[in-house]
Every structure is written in structure tokens, then in C-alpha cells.
Amino acid sequence: MKKNDDRAFGWEWLAMLVMAVVVYACASRGYPEGGPKDTTPPQVILEEPASFTKNFDKKRVNIYFDEFVQLKDINEKFIISPPQKKKPKPRLKGKYVQVEFVDSLKPNTTYTLDFADAISDNNEGNPLGFYRYVFSTGNEIDSLELSGQVVNAESGEPVLNVYVELYSNLADSMPLLEVPDYVARTDSSGFFRLTNLKDTIYRVVAIQDDNRDYKYTPEAEMFAYLDTLVRPVVMTMTRVDTFRVVDKIVGQDTTMRDSIVTQEYLGFGPNNLYLRLFQEKLTQLYMTDDDRKERERLDFIFSIPGKNEFKARLFDTLSTEPLPEDWYVLEHSAGNDTLALWIKDSTVYKKDTLNVILSYLRTDSTGRLTTFADTSRYTFKDKKKPDNKKGRKDEPETPAIEFVEIKSNAGNDFDLGARLWLEFNRPVDKAGLENLHISEKVDTLYQPLKFTLEEDSLKIRRIYIDASWKAGQEYMLTLDSASVNDIYGRHNNKLEKKFKVRQEEFYGKIMLNVSGVQGQVILQLYKSDNGKSENGKRSYAVVQEQIINQDGQVTFPLIPEGKYKFRAILDTNGNGIWDTGLYLKNQQPEEIVYLPVEISVKQNFDIEQEFNLLKPYKDESDK
């Protein structure tokens, strides 16, 4: 009996194993591996109410799709035009999107709900494309259009996500005060299209609207405007199409030829509006930062360059002793927007806390520069030094000697035509520079060389050394030890720097044949590897610059090997720099013409290049 039971148990176990294998196989076949990727965008199958509805009086719109969808960056991409103070709220409801109106709709007005490319399918993210929903609260649907492009005024590059706005109130101040009549947003190519417009005259502006209020905030936001007013029209346009038609048939051979057909059609315009986006020059002067990062130094930063009439006076309500008046020296940046106050009085900088009355120019509420007095407290505490004695309690610690630090651009690769300089880490007494020597290597010996010194007019810690430098020649700069003392009594260690001027053969040369010059032009040679930002800005590493007033050949010598480009600033006011725009004074930014040719400069080679300023070049860098 036991033997039969064991046999029965074995058959049961085998049957269960077979069933498990079958179930696993069936389960595995139930999950397909791979398959074609979904590349089909969602399709609109129903709109409630239908797009282009007249006499619209609903509180919401429902847009249905043939599959589940998602909304990407909907808050940034969705626009209603004309804009409303309370923006409608698009919501995702599975296979449909609902737009609920929070603000009341104007009577007899055509509205456009622009989703851009925010709608895509839920699986692969295939975008629906640029989708618009249109309706009218009146009996008519306006149908006129305007289109064009927005570019950065300096770089000429297209700018993404800029509001282009239309105002039927033609007063200059409207973009600063009121919400526009119509609005559209630029795409990645800077292109915009304003649709369903009334037939009237408009002022056209563009705003990098950072605070999303549809209004221009001068100096804080980028802006563009057209000099002329615009009226949308329906116009006859032409296009040229090429067709392949039968030319002749010989036997079984058929000869084809191209047939060019010019066709007329009705289009909307103007369709070539061109707006140059600029940032107005800051005019509000105020202090943006102040700090005491070093015991002997205070730093002050102002909002804009220019005259600030800065003064500083110590005060201490607890002290009965007179406070020093001549207690600092000032160092200015090139634009005078950054100041370094070097405290030269040891009784002052040794204090951990300083109370200072500052006096400087600041823009008041009326826009005028007035003298402003402010009281500030500055503190500094020395960092604790680590204890490295390790049980050596009785051994006195020898203080390290701190020397004046000196930097220089002298080196083995000293550029021909460059200016030699020395820069100290703190202000110094320049009298000790009489112990500075420059020697020229003649055969194997260094012979003294005549030179002159010139102090930097702003950066008081820098001096320039001018001499008749020769190409390929070796030199030596020496400064004896303890020759120069800074204002704190520290002296320099011995300085000896050998340097060699590059040979002329190291450089290349460009002869630029410039034509189309009308007025003063600033020619700039710059390195072509410049980065971009989203709003079309670009930093230009300018290598050389020359100013011209007429057609002709301009030579750019001593160019290191590399890749370069040219641009020409049309300097209409003749001040030698590029000037941005100023809207309320009807001042457009100065135009810049880019030569869309990358020039590869080789050592000891001359290159001749044409540059016609009348050609409508744009910067094609890194595209």
C-alpha cells in the first residue's frame, strides 16, 4: 500500500511541474517584446464649443483627443490674446484639456487661445504641433494677421519666448502702463505670428516679460519697438513653383523638363516685421554691495559706472580721542563702479569693528543725483590658527615673514606689441621702484635697457613699464629685495623674471577690404568660439579694434594663430562704443553688421578678406 502511495505522489508532483511550465510559457507569450515606436501625435477629435464659434458665452472650453495627452510647460507656453488680467487655467482631464475662464470676456472681441507646442501624447511625448483655438464674443471673427521676427540687437540671433504686443492706443507710454490689445510669443527661430486682428493701426513692441505682466519695465527687461506704426492688410502675393512636365515623346522614351509657374494668392501682411531686442542702459545710481573681507580693506560696488563722489569718515560715540581723518587710500575700477578702500592707519585696521559714515551720489525718487549719507558698521575677525606645537609648550613660535606679492605679465611668450606691467597685492610706496632694472640679452650677457614707468590712473597697485622691445629678443626684469614697501610696512622679496618677446613669424595678418562705409564704423576682430544664452546674448572676446570713416583696406597685424570673425558697429553718435536703445527717447540700438565668414589665421601668413557693410549679414556663429 505504501508503494502505491509513493507512486501516486510522484505522478502528482510531475503533473504540477508540467502545469507550472505551461503556465509560465503562456504568461511569457502574453508580454510582447519590443514593437514599433509610437511616432503619431495626438489628434483633436472634438471641440466644445467648436473653434471659430461666434457669439461665444461659455465659461469653459473642452478640447478632446484620440488618446491620453500631457501638458508640457503649459503655464509658460499658453497665451490668450487679447490678454486678460486673470489668465485662464488649462487643466488636463485625461483625454481632453479644459480651459476655464476666470476673467470676464470683452464684447464683440475675437479671442485666440494659443497652446504653442505644449500638448503632446502621454506615451512618447509626440507634440500635437502649434495649436490655436479661436472664438468671438460678437457676430464677426476678425481675421487679419501680422508676423515677423525678434532678434537680439547686439548679436542678431533669434530670441525665444518674447512677447510681441500690439497697441491700438498709439501713445508712447502705453507699453509701460497698459496691457496690450494683442499678444503673441516667439518660437526658437524668433518668429511670431499675431492672428485674428481688427482692422486698425497699431504700435508694435516686444518684451522679454520676466514678471509676466505684459508691461515694459525700463532697464529691468529687454525691449524692442518699431519706429513706424503698422496696419495689417490682405495683399496679393506671388510664389514661384517648379513642375516636371513632359517635353516630348519619341517611341517609348519620354523626355521631361522643368516648368516654372508663377502663382498669385491672397496673404496677410506685413509678414516681415523685424524687431531688435535690447536692454536699456542702467541710469539709477546706488550702492549694491559693501563688505570687509580683509582687515585692511573695505569694498564698495555701485550699480552703474560713473562719478560717485565717494567719501568715508570714521565715528565712535564711545571714544574721547580725535579720530584720524587721513586714514585710507581709494582704488577705482575702470568704470568707477567698484571701489577698494585701503585702510592705511594701523590704529584703524586693527579694530575688529569700524563705524563709518559714507557719503556718495545716489539717484533719488525724482531721478536726480543727490548726495546721500549712510552709516555702516564693518566687522572682521582673524581666523584662529591651528595649534601645531604638539606638546612643545615652551618653544616660541616664529612668525612667518609676509612679503609684498608681485604679479607680472612677463614670460617666455611675451606678445609683440604688448605692454609690460607689474601689480602689487597692496598699495606701495612707488619711490622704491628706482631699484627696478630692465636688461636686454646681448650675446650671452644682459645689458641695461632704458625704460619709463607709468602709474595706472585708476588701479593704484599697477605700474606699466615701457621700452623699445624687439621681436625675438630676451630680457630680464629685476627688483632688489626690500626696495618697495607697502602702506603696512611689508617689503618685497627679490624679484627676477626673464622673458622673451615673440618673433613676428609667430603671428598672422588680415587685410580687410571694407566697403559700404557710411559714417563712423568700429571694426572688431573677435574669437569665434563664443557661447550663447537663451535670450540671444553672446560675449565677444575682442582681440583687436579699429575705427574707420571711409572705404578702404584696414590691416589687423600680430594675430595669434586661431579662428576669428569680424563685426562692424555702425557708430552713429561717434562715441567709439556700441550704444543700446532708449525707448522713450526714440533711440534704437546701434546696428551691428556681422561678416559670416570664419577666418583661420596661420603663423606667418597674410589673409585678404572682403567685408561689404551694405549686405544684410547676421551672426552665423556656432549654428
CATH of the domain at 548: 2.60.40.2190
pLDDT at 319: 73
Is 259 found in the same domain as 226?
no
Does some domain include residue 242? yes
Is 130 found in the same domain as 96?
yes
Cα–Cα dist 153/590, whole Å: 8
pLDDT at 32: 46
pLDDT at 257: 72
pLDDT at 361: 96
pLDDT at 158: 94
Does some domain include residue 102? yes
Is 414 found in the same domain as 350?
no
- What are the percentages of helix, strand and coil residues in the chain, rounded to 5? 10, 45, 45
Is 588 found in the same domain as 532?
yes
How do 606-612 and 507-515 pair as beta strands?
parallel
Does some domain include residue 224? yes
The SS3 assignment for 21 reads helix
User: How many other CB atoms sit within 10 Å of the CB of residue 424?
Assistant: 19
Cell of 200: 486698425
pLDDT at 236: 76
Is 514 found in the same domain as 483?
no
Cell of 289: 554691495
Q: Which CATH number characterizes residue 70's domain?
A: 2.60.40.1220
Does some domain include residue 33? no
Domain stop point among 502, 536, 553 = 502
Backbone angles phi, psi at 423, to 5 degrees: -135, 130
Buried b (16+ CB within 10 A) or exposed e, 594-607: bbeeebebeeeeeb
pLDDT at 189: 93
Domain of 260, in residue numbers: 235-269
Is 440 found in the same domain as 425?
yes
Does some domain include residue 374? yes
Total domains present in the chain: 6
Is 264 found in the same domain as 291?
no
Q: What is the mean pLDDT of each run of 10 residues along the chain (623 residues)?
A: 47 48 41 59 94 96 94 92 93 94 96 94 85 96 97 94 97 96 95 97 96 93 97 83 68 71 80 97 94 96 92 84 89 93 95 96 93 96 73 62 93 92 95 94 95 93 96 96 94 95 97 97 90 74 97 97 97 96 96 94 97 73 47
Does some domain include residue 619? no
Does some domain include residue 8? no
Cell of 360: 556718495
Is 524 found in the same domain as 458?
no
Is 608 found in the same domain as 513?
yes
pLDDT at 240: 72
Does some domain include residue 73? yes
Place of cell 491672397: 266
Cβ distance 438 to 465 under 8 Å? yes
Cα–Cα dist 579/493, whole Å: 46
Q: Which CATH number characterizes residue 196's domain?
A: 2.60.40
Domain stop point among 120, 136, 152 = 136
The SS3 assignment for 115 reads strand
Is 240 found in the same domain as 224?
no
Domain stop point among 502, 519, 551 = 502
How do 119-121 and 69-71 pair as beta strands?
antiparallel
Cα–Cα dist 104/118, whole Å: 25
Is 495 found in the same domain as 410?
yes
Is 563 found in the same domain as 598?
yes
pLDDT at 340: 97
Helix (H) / strand (E) containing 6: helix 2-29
The pTM score is 0.82
